[in-house]
């Protein structure tokens, strides 16, 4: 089948599975219930990850069989999905979950032979090789992306839309760079399967209650798949894409996660301890609605990814892209530090804005 047809099948299959799993999830307790950090309405099934996985596998497995290098990817996605499902049902401790993520990522890297061996010409002094550090660095990058997607799953449609955007951008890079057609097809099919789930996860005007959440099973499985596809496209035999351009495609969720880890460690807390200093939390405090916050972050991801792709396509210097990438990371770290000032400015602005002839009451900063 053509890629457009297979993508359509994945989209419809994913949407159908969400519908079919609604009642079984409610009966088995595979649901997300509101609490102090989760303010949705009622219990919502955590079936998005399973739906995306089945929609993707339904199309890819018959086409790819179990031939390398896709076999390790499919096995790795299966293992990460099972870990996430167990976490959704039993709430696995963060450290144990991290160890399992590292083990699955290591198995996938070793089984597929897909590793980051060269970082590119980041300093204008020639290409930087990793040598013996190739395997641990690749696993570290994969675990970072897994947790970046997992931590982005905090607003309706945010993580799923982020994965769809990343997959489409990776497909664009692969198409421009002459990557193996199987990798490009996988990116498009995964984006389509994620789109089928998003029908039940985005806040749409015609639907006031959500039907499904992704869950840790979906966010971790998708994070693993996205990380592997990005590395596979960047390290293909004929690849000429800058590794730093792939970094630009992933920079927004990665910068959020890295800045959170650093700030939490500085405070003597676990890097996985929950708080409300994600990028989406900061935008929400400035008065943006959930759909507006999601749209802003998706727009930033699309803009940064296209910038990285176009910069490589038109051969801008790699050191320039690397310096700019570092500045984005620094900005991600500083954003929460500037947030109180922006919040006070936003509150003063609201109190001065007339509404029906009267000023809004002052908003007290939390």
pLDDT, tens digit, 9 for 90 and up, residues 202-255: 877 655 566 899 999 999 999 999 999 999 999 998 899 999 999 999 999 999
Q: By the 8 A CB rule, do 216 and 84 touch?
A: yes
Strands (E), the chain: 31-32, 44-45, 354-355, 358-359
Q: By the 8 A CB rule, do 210 and 221 touch?
A: no
Q: How many helices (H) and strands (E) does the chain have?
A: 13, 4
d(Cα 308, Cα 190) in Å, to the nearest integer?
Answer: 21
d(Cα 52, Cα 11) in Å, to the nearest integer?
Answer: 8
Q: By the 8 A CB rule, do 161 and 296 touch?
A: no
Determine the structural domain holding residue 179 and report its residue range: 3-351
d(Cα 198, Cα 191) in Å, to the nearest integer?
Answer: 10
**Is residue 340 situated within a structural domain?**
yes
Calculate ∠ Cα 157-158-163, nearest 5°: 100
Residue 118 has what DSSP assignment? B
How far are the Cα atoms of 44, 133, 232, 269 from residue 219, in angstroms, in the given order?
16, 27, 20, 23
The pLDDT value given to residue 35: 56
The pLDDT value given to residue 149: 96
Q: By the 8 A CB rule, do 305 and 282 touch?
A: no
d(Cα 157, Cα 296) in Å, to the nearest integer?
Answer: 12
Query: Global pTM?
Result: 0.89
Number of domains composing the chain: 1
Is residue 329 left, alpha or beta, with left meaning phi > 0 and alpha meaning psi from -120 to 50? alpha
| Sequential DSSP letters for 229-256 | HHHHHHTSTT--S-HHHHHHHHHHHHHH
Tens place of pLDDT per residue across the chain (366 aa): 577 888 999 999 999 999 999 899 988 888 887 655 555 556 889 999 999 999 999 999 887 555 556 889 999 999 999 999 999 988 899 999 999 999 999 999 999 999 999 999 999 999 999 999 999 999 999 999 999 999 998 888 999 999 999 999 999 999 999 999 889 999 999 999 999 999 998 877 655 566 899 999 999 999 999 999 999 999 998 899 999 999 999 999 999 999 888 888 888 888 887 777 788 878 887 778 888 999 999 999 999 999 999 999 999 999 999 999 999 999 888 877 776 666 566 666 666 655 444 443 443 333
The pLDDT value given to residue 242: 96
**Is residue 121 situated within a structural domain?**
yes
A 10 A CB-CB count for 162 gives: 27
The pLDDT value given to residue 356: 45
| Sequential DSSP letters for 20-57 | HTHHHHHHHT-EE---SS---SS-EE--HHHHHHHHHH
pLDDT > 90 in the chain, percent: 61
Q: Is the peptide bond before 69 cis (omega within 30 degrees of 0)?
A: yes
**Is residue 359 situated within a structural domain?**
no
Q: By the 8 A CB rule, do 248 and 307 touch?
A: yes
């Amino acid at each position: 089948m053509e890629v457009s047809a297979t993508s359509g099948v994945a989209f419809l299959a994913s949407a159908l599975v969400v519908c079919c799993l609604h009642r079984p999830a409610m009966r088995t307790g595979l649901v997300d219930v509101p609490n102090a950090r989760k303010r949705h309405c009622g219990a919502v099934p955590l079936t998005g990850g399973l739906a995306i996985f089945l929609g993707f596998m339904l199309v890819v497995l018959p086409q790819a069989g179990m031939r390398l290098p896709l076999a390790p990817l499919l096995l790795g996605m299966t293992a990460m999905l099972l870990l996430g499902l167990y976490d959704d049902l039993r709430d696995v401790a963060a450290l144990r979950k991290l160890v399992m993520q590292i083990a699955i990522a290591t198995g996938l890297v070793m089984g597929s032979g897909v590793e980051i061996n060269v970082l590119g010409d980041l300093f204008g002094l020639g290409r930087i090789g990793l040598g013996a550090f190739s395997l641990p660095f690749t696993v570290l990058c994969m675990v970072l992306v897994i947790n970046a997607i997992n931590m982005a799953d905090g607003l309706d449609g945010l993580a799923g839309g982020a994965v769809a955007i990343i997959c489409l951008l990776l497909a664009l890079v692969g198409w421009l760079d002459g990557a193996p057609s199987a990798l490009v097809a996988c990116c498009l099919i995964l984006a389509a399967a994620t789109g089928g789930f998003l029908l039940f996860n985005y806040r749409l005007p015609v639907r006031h209650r959500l039907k499904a959440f992704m869950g840790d099973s979906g966010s971790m499985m998708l994070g693993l798949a996205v990380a592997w596809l990005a590395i596979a496209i960047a390290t293909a035999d004929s690849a000429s894409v800058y590794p730093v351009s792939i970094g630009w495609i992933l920079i927004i969720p990665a910068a959020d996660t890295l800045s959170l880890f650093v700030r939490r460690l500085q405070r003597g807390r676990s890097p996985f301890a929950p708080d409300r200093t994600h990028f989406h939390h900061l935008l929400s405090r400035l008065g943006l609605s959930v759909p507006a916050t999601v749209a802003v972050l998706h727009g930033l991801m699309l803009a940064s990814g296209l910038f990285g792709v176009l910069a490589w396509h038109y051969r801008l210097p790699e050191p320039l892209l690397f310096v700019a990438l570092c500045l984005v990371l620094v900005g991600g770290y500083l954003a929460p530090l500037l947030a109180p000032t922006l919040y006070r400015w936003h509150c003063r602005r609201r109190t001065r804005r007339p509404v029906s002839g009267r000023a809004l009451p002052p908003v007290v900063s939390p």
